[in-house]
């Protein structure tokens, strides 16, 4: 079951400048940052609030580490802006399979590693009314009120 907006992914050309914009304009601070080489991104997570499922919602600022990455290609075509939304779930495997059975393309056979050790997969934007959609199970089971083993 999808129980929160886990994050909104925002593509940017310069992560440090964009982080500073969100800090100076809104007062949001970096909660976590990392490089995910598999996804080709340098990212900063800005925590917005805790959610009723025991998790949290974030803005995720994304700078590509290479031009041929998903974010690099998208930026070249569209410029900066909202790249994807992510829903949080205690069971990314089960929810991905349930969605796949509705003939919506799930991009990975098995979830991959996302921000802060989470497990993630994506739905194809052409099957979701134009919105690249991610499903996320946090690394900490308590963040999803889940005892699911992975």
Q: Please give the residue ranges that form the binding site for ligand MC0 (CB under 6 A).
A: 9, 36, 39, 41, 43, 60, 62, 70-71, 73-74, 83-84, 86, 107, 114-115, 118, 120, 122, 124-126, 130, 132, 134
Least Å distance, CB 93 to ligand MC0, is: 16
Q: Are 145 and 56 in contact (CB under 8 A)?
A: no
> Is residue 63 among the annotated active site residues?
no
Rounded-to-integer distance, Cα 114 and Cα 32, Å: 12
CB nearer to ligand MC0: pick between 24 and 135? 135
> Is residue 60 among the annotated active site residues?
yes
Token duo for residue 24: 């100076």
Catalytic one among 39, 43, 63, 83?
43
- Cβ–Cβ contacts within 10 Å for residue 140, how many? 13
CB nearer to ligand MC0: pick between 28 and 84? 84
Helix H or strand E encompassing 86: strand 81-89
> Is residue 39 among the annotated active site residues?
no
Catalytic one among 39, 60, 63, 83?
60
> Is residue 43 among the annotated active site residues?
yes
CB nearer to ligand MC0: pick between 12 and 41? 41
* Sheet of strand 133-137: strand arrangement: 30-36, 41-50, 56-64, 2-11, 81-89, 133-137, 119-123, 112-113
> Is residue 150 among the annotated active site residues?
no
Least Å distance, CB 70 to ligand MC0, is: 3
Q: What are phi and psi of 26, to 5 degrees?
A: -115, -15
> Looking at the annotation, which residues are catalytic?
7, 43, 60, 84, 134
């Amino acid at each position: 079951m999808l129980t929160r907006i886990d994050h909104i992914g925002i593509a940017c050309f310069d992560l440090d400048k964009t982080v500073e914009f969100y800090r100076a304009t809104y007062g949001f601070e970096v909660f976590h940052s990392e490089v995910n080489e598999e996804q080709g991104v340098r990212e900063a997570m800005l925590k917005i609030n805790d959610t009723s499922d025991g998790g949290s919602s974030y803005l995720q600022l994304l700078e590509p580490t290479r031009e041929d990455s998903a974010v690099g290609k998208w930026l070249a075509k569209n410029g900066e802006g909202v790249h994807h939304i992510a829903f949080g779930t205690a069971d990314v495997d089960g929810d991905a399979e349930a969605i796949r059975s509705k003939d919506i393309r799930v991009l990975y056979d098995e979830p991959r590693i996302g921000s802060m050790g989470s497990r993630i997969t994506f739905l194809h934007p052409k099957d979701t009314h134009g919105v690249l959609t991610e499903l996320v199970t946090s690394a900490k089971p308590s963040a999803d009120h889940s005892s699911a083993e992975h």
